[in-house]
Structure 1
Amino acid sequence: MRNSRTRVLRSRVPSIGSSGRFGRAALSAGCSVVALGAFAPVAWAQDSAPGTVDTENVIVVTGVRASLERAMDIKREAYGVVDAISAEDIGKFPDTNLAESLQRIPGVSISRVNGEGSQVTVRGFGPQFNLVTVNGRQIATTFVNAVGGDQDVDFSRATGRSFDFNNLASEGVQRLEVYKTGRAAIPSGGIGAAINIVTAQPLSIAGSGLRGSVGAKALYDLSNEDFRVDPEVSGVLTWSDPEETFGVSLFGAYQKRESEAVSATSNAWNVQPFSSFPGRGPSTVVTGAPADPATLVAVPNDSRYHYSEFERERINVAGTVQFRPVETLTFTADAMFVRNSQSEERTDQTNWFNRPFDSITFDPSDAVPTAVFIEEGSGFGTKDLGLEQQFRAVETELQSFGLNAEWEIASGFTLRLDG
């Protein structure tokens, strides 16, 4: 649940001279304005001279102190290298999923599918080398990139055990923690990092009673001519008793997106020595040929053109119940349900190149000279073409249930049971 605190300090500093530049006198005047406004606002209003105020030279300082303090506290109290981002930080940007929120942490980069963040790379280690947990609990994950609009998803080659952050909405998270060094308190298995997703916990929010928030987003997508606005709605509801010993939180999010994509690629590249690549004949005109016939060259096998229409529907539901009978003992039960349905209608046209070529041009500046222009052989009367109509669909469902007990036996010594 986001708790945004923004302080704006505004002071109007009159310009010095006709050039409007600030010197040392201008800085002193600005400090005087702030001091008088803080200690004697009534006297300042009485002593001010009548007339208009020059609004050209206005200094506006905006800071988010609480968010920075929380991030610093997490790093200061951690035993290893830890970076964290809170719900307040996440709420400042129109992120569509957790991957786009994580990319704001130093050392974290993401990959995208259909323009949305999907997988995370930390310190140069790919998604398969990072461990993802929810509330400190490892979850079974899989990644099947069968809907994506590019050649890499043919025959479901892009599969693995890495976590797809596109399944989770960013609004339902209280905190994201990235552990770049190992700790005894977290599961092992993350060579790059261990990423812990902390969902909303009612007793960790200051105050009691019933609180809630509702959010709505609209994505304006230029790729879709028929349905350009994609909606997303979310809501968080939290309640705790006056003694703050019992609390309940609920979260729900729904997003539907329709988009289109057009792309061009090659199905495969022939990488062979220049002396033996199959596209050259006795009459082939070669430009930019390497001096050494043993040099490897790259020539495309064909050209492919894709047109795809995508539809995605994502549902997130999460709930947490906490009970704290004494200050040092807390019981937590949490549940999460995620369903991400994706479908794609795709049209492919393939043109296989006739050989030998009439002419071919290489880029000699590459380590492996690559063909940048090809004129197909004119001696062939038959053209080899391919047309495909495909329908692809993937539905991902994630269910997570957990029960946790945390007992602070003594200062600096805590016993935690989780299942």
Structure 2
Amino acid sequence: MKNKTFKFNTIYCAMLVAASVGVQAEEAPATEEVEVIQVKGIRSALTKSAETKRYSNGVVDAITAEDIGKLPDTNLAESLQRIAGVSIDRANNEGNKVTVRGFGPEFNMVTLNGRQMPNSSALQSAGVSRSFNFREIAAESVSGVNVYKTGNAEITSGGIGATIDINTARPFDYDGFTAFITGKGIYDTSVEKGDSVTPEISGMISQTFADDKVGFLLSLSHAERDSHADVVGTDGWVRNRSRDNVDLSGIDTSRNPEQAIWTPWTAKTEHFDTERTRQNAQAVLQFQPINSVVATLDYTLSRLEETSYTNRSAFWFDNPSGTANANGTLWNPRDQDDELNFWAWEYYQQKENDSIGFNIEWQATDTLSFEVDIHDSTSKSNPDGQTAETLANLKNPSGSVALIGADFVGDIPSIIVDDSNVPGGAYNKDNIVSDLYQKRGYSMDNNIKQYRVAGTWENLSIDSSLTRINFGVMNTDYSVDTRLSEVFSFVDVPLTDLDLGFIPLGNTADQFPGANQLFPYISQYDVNQFIDIVKSEGKFAEPNIKTNGVNEETFAAYVSFDFDTEFHDMPVKMNVGVRYEDTDVTAYSVQNGIIAMNYRHAQELRPVYNDTATSEELTGSYTRILPNFDFNISVTDELMARFSYGRTLSRAGISAMFPATNVNARPGGPFNASQGNPNLLPITSDNFDLSFEWYSDDGSFASVGYFKKFVENFIGAGTENRTINDVNGQPLTDPSVNPRPGCPDSSDTPNPACLGQASDPEITWEVATPDNLQNREVDGWEFNAQYMFADSGFGVVANYTIVDSDESFDPYNFDQTIALTGLSDSGNLVAFYENYGFQARLAYNWRDEFLLALGNEPTFTEAYGQLDMSLSYDINDTVTVSLDGINLTDETVRRFGRFEEQLLSAEQYGPRFTFGVSAKF
């Protein structure tokens, strides 16, 4: 794996800037007359962003479009990561969710033109996130983004890290007729199936009529993308499973006194091919009947359809032997007399987002103005109930392969397969049989109805330091309804008609050392063809249906006061405000009751449900007061000091509030269960910011800021060991401990002898229930600089963020159920040149190692740095050509478990380039 450090790339980019400035200085004759050039593009956008930061209450950073339909990056999240304190998580080699000051996506509120927007997921594994996914909106439709890092009474609550407001264009923003159209070709170097070059087209037209009293704007975009990823890893690491054949002598008992061990579930190599189509549209009608009134009616639409096909060669460790290292990791697992597995997956996501809103601004008097904003927005995933996930597994006959194993050393494991006792080899179709299939249909409907009435009173008196009073009320009705359709079954069907083949590994994961020691072949077959065979054999089972939902209604009211005064002839601005919020929560679950546990397979202990669905409903409520105080003083015309205090909140995750009880068990354990808690309190944070900022008239600035957050009510999984009752009120029992004759029985119709009975041992479940468990302190530093080299056209932007917490993740603390995900340092270095119609930018972004998720076992993402570039040339005042490059140095992503050797996934994507032509009118 390439492991370039941030330091190296920082020096590299700094050298490029210095060299470019030197060349410019040498080429410009001393006697040359200065040409007056209109400031636009990159420099104009950066200057406007600096002005937003300078004149805002509290700490606000911004991104401004360089021109009509031209945000700095091809992806909105990729642009946001250039802001100090903002880092992103990537999926399929593009940014999708953001972390701000160490707080992950669930701790940040994303709004569109000040409105809270819904979000839905088509995959159960993704859960229900309140955070908007930035890949769903085209960057060309965005005119700017404001990141509010401190609390403000006027801003929609929900973000401890930040509130991120995406702004889109309005017809009254332009003078008369304005339009642009852009056509692009996306060249993805990773593609193995599909088209290496895919189209993207976007455009906008805006016009005002009737002496600029009426305006209409329409923006459209259509983008297609095919991509490929190589993934190497395992499906997870489990603690204290299969200890009997493991050498524990190498464990460092000073760090691991319990001699806990971790064994991998699997070892795998897979190809991931994805095809995606995204469409965005926005129609805006504005009307100004009189000078004091502006009314806006808008409709926003986005559509996303994505299908991913996966083929995987793997094996499963049932009872591995080997040696544990000093940490307790079984780094060299081996299984005798086993089998290889050949998986096929299809993931399908269809998302439909629609928002209709109405806004009216009224300047009632010279001093009093009002604004009313109403919107009804819906996000639906797989709205017609189509299957979201389909998978199948084929295998060698059990015990036919002499030895399987893996050495988890280095970035990726070395795979060991001894199939010498299999005539024709383990990859011969004649030596492969069916194993299992699974189908999940996951549909979600997330709706937000929101109204806001706001007012502002301007104090025109010159004798008072009070300049403005802001006030308003808001009501938000937030609802989520989900439906999970799931079937899982081991099956024995003929494979005669299955189109099964194998392809050589080739250059799979070749950016990682040791890629030549993986599986020699990747299996190739269509999972849906396999499902058709299962159906034709009459072995397709009926799905189990679960329905969950949450309704959350919040009423808010706020008032704030703005003051302008002086202290020793230094201008002082202050904002003092308070926000009141009252929230009521109702959560429900509908599911069938469990009759008994069925010992169906050596690796499966499955619940058997009755035919009667029952509903369960739980409620909760809370009230919060959120004050804020912002103070800034202009020490000189260029130097400013700023202090801010604000209380912010983030609400509990939706999935954590579903009251349903879910069980997950394997013969011999573990026996895990979970239940939601709609009475969770919001996580609140008292935030303190202190910063010093220097500004120059040409858009250059530098700032250093310190922030401290005192966070209360962090949500973690409180666990208890207890029994769970069946539909008759009796504890569920384990039929696998002393199996009766004929069990396990993999029949689709449960064998009564294989069901748990009263004489079997009662199962003690480890039941996880989310609860407000801990308080935390988070602090950090933000360093930010932006400098324009006079009229040379050169400039540089650099920032670095340090984030720390009073409690870090302890890999040997097995009772730790709370950890701050996303906490990491990050930095950016951007060099650019802009003159004579030519624009060039080289941008490097780096993020340190961070905790991605904390479940039964943690998931960490290794430090990652990416180099991007963009070039454009204005052929004339109308036409511009461009070239963008993403991940130029072919960086890879590696995620691991409790320790670095516990690889979860090593992912390789390749660079991506975009060629474009745009015209503006």
Instruction: Name the amino acid aligned to 2:97.
Output: Q
Taking structure 2 as the reference length, what is the TM-score of the superposition? 0.35
For the residue of structure 1 that corresponds to 2:78, the secondary structure is helix
Q: 1:91 aligns with which of 60, 70, 74?
A: 70
Q: 1:287 to 1:254 in 2, by over 3 A?
A: farther
Higher relative helix content? 1
Higher relative strand content? 2
1:260 aligns with 2:265: no
Partner residue of 1:370?
A: 329
CA contact (8 A) 1:11 1:33 kept: no
Task: Give the drift of 1:125.
Answer: 1.3
Task: Give the drift of 1:104.
Answer: 1.7
Instruction: Name the amino acid aligned to 2:295.
Output: F
For the residue of structure 1 that corresponds to 2:58, the secondary structure is coil
Partner residue of 2:359?
A: 404
Distance in structure 2 (CA, Å) of the matches to 1:38 and 1:235:
33
1:199 aligns with 2:168: yes
Q: 1:280 aligns with which of 209, 229, 245?
A: 245
Task: Give the drift of 1:172.
Answer: 0.4
Superposed, 1:27-38 pairs within 5 Å as 32-34=30-32, 36-37=33-34
Distance in structure 2 (CA, Å) of the matches to 1:335 and 1:84:
25
Q: 1:370 to 1:159 in 2, by over 3 A?
A: farther
Instruction: Name the amino acid aligned to 1:91.
Output: K
Q: 1:157 to 1:132 in 2, by over 3 A?
A: closer
Partner residue of 2:262?
A: 298
Partner residue of 1:81?
A: 59
Q: 1:114 to 1:287 in 2, by over 3 A?
A: farther
Partner residue of 1:52?
A: none
Distance in structure 2 (CA, Å) of the matches to 1:247 and 1:355:
70
Distance in structure 1 (CA, Å) of the matches to 2:166 and 2:71:
18
1:392 aligns with 2:390: no
Partner residue of 1:116?
A: 94
Partner residue of 1:247?
A: 215
Distance in structure 2 (CA, Å) of the matches to 1:11 and 1:303:
52
Q: 1:125 aligns with which of 84, 87, 103?
A: 103
Task: Give the drift of 1:194.
Answer: 1.3
- CA offsets per residue over residues 221-248 of structure 1, 9 Å max, x none? 1221352112211111111248433221
Partner residue of 1:55?
A: none
Q: 1:300 to 1:200 in 2, by over 3 A?
A: same
CA contact (8 A) 2:71 2:140 kept: no
- Greater Cα offset, 335-344 or 129-138: 129-138
1:69 aligns with 2:24: no
Task: Give the drift of 1:322.
Answer: 1.5
Task: Give the drift of 1:120.
Answer: 1.3
Task: Give the drift of 1:94.
Answer: 4.1
Partner residue of 1:331?
A: 295
Distance in structure 2 (CA, Å) of the matches to 1:315 and 1:92:
17
CA contact (8 A) 2:71 2:139 kept: no
RMSD of aligned C-alpha atoms? 3.2
Partner residue of 2:285?
A: 321
Task: Give the drift of 1:177.
Answer: 1.3
Task: Give the drift of 1:11.
Answer: 10
Q: 1:263 to 1:12 in 2, by over 3 A?
A: closer
For the residue of structure 1 that corresponds to 2:46, the secondary structure is helix
Partner residue of 2:158?
A: 189
Instruction: Name the amino acid aligned to 1:255.
Output: A
Partner residue of 1:213?
A: 180
Q: 1:312 aligns with which of 276, 295, 303?
A: 276
Distance in structure 2 (CA, Å) of the matches to 1:280 and 1:412:
80
Distance in structure 1 (CA, Å) of the matches to 2:347 and 2:361:
45
- Greater Cα offset, 399-408 or 385-394: 385-394
Superposed, 1:159-198 pairs within 5 Å as 159-198=128-167
1:360 aligns with 2:327: no
Distance in structure 2 (CA, Å) of the matches to 1:258 and 1:385:
30
- CA offsets per residue over residues 255-274 of structure 1, 9 Å max, x none? 111122221221221334xx
CA contact (8 A) 1:201 1:249 kept: yes
Q: 1:388 to 1:334 in 2, by over 3 A?
A: same
Partner residue of 1:56?
A: none
Distance in structure 2 (CA, Å) of the matches to 1:413 and 1:277:
73
CA contact (8 A) 1:406 1:414 kept: yes
Distance in structure 1 (CA, Å) of the matches to 2:111 and 2:62:
14
Distance in structure 2 (CA, Å) of the matches to 1:117 and 1:77:
29
Task: Give the drift of 1:387.
Answer: 2.9
For the residue of structure 1 that corresponds to 2:84, the secondary structure is coil
CA contact (8 A) 1:142 1:162 kept: no
Identical residues among aligned pairs (%)? 33
The aligned length equals 348
For the residue of structure 2 that corresponds to 1:120, the secondary structure is strand
Unmatched 5+ stretches in structure 1: 1-8, 16-28, 40-60, 147-154
Distance in structure 1 (CA, Å) of the matches to 2:227 and 2:26:
52
Distance in structure 1 (CA, Å) of the matches to 2:307 and 2:154:
40
CA contact (8 A) 2:60 2:150 kept: yes
Q: 1:101 to 1:327 in 2, by over 3 A?
A: farther
Q: 1:349 to 1:413 in 2, by over 3 A?
A: farther
Distance in structure 1 (CA, Å) of the matches to 2:106 and 2:182:
33
Partner residue of 2:239?
A: 271
Instruction: Name the amino acid aligned to 1:416.
Output: E
1:100 aligns with 2:78: yes
Q: 1:158 to 1:124 in 2, by over 3 A?
A: same
Task: Give the drift of 1:409.
Answer: 4.3
Distance in structure 2 (CA, Å) of the matches to 1:166 and 1:74:
25
CA contact (8 A) 2:192 2:273 kept: no
For the residue of structure 2 that corresponds to 1:71, the secondary structure is helix
Distance in structure 1 (CA, Å) of the matches to 2:181 and 2:91:
27
Q: 1:268 to 1:314 in 2, by over 3 A?
A: same
Distance in structure 2 (CA, Å) of the matches to 1:271 and 1:294:
12
Task: Give the drift of 1:336.
Answer: 0.6
Partner residue of 2:114?
A: 136
Q: 1:177 to 1:166 in 2, by over 3 A?
A: same
Q: 1:33 to 1:126 in 2, by over 3 A?
A: same
Distance in structure 2 (CA, Å) of the matches to 1:121 and 1:303:
30
For the residue of structure 1 that corresponds to 2:54, the secondary structure is helix
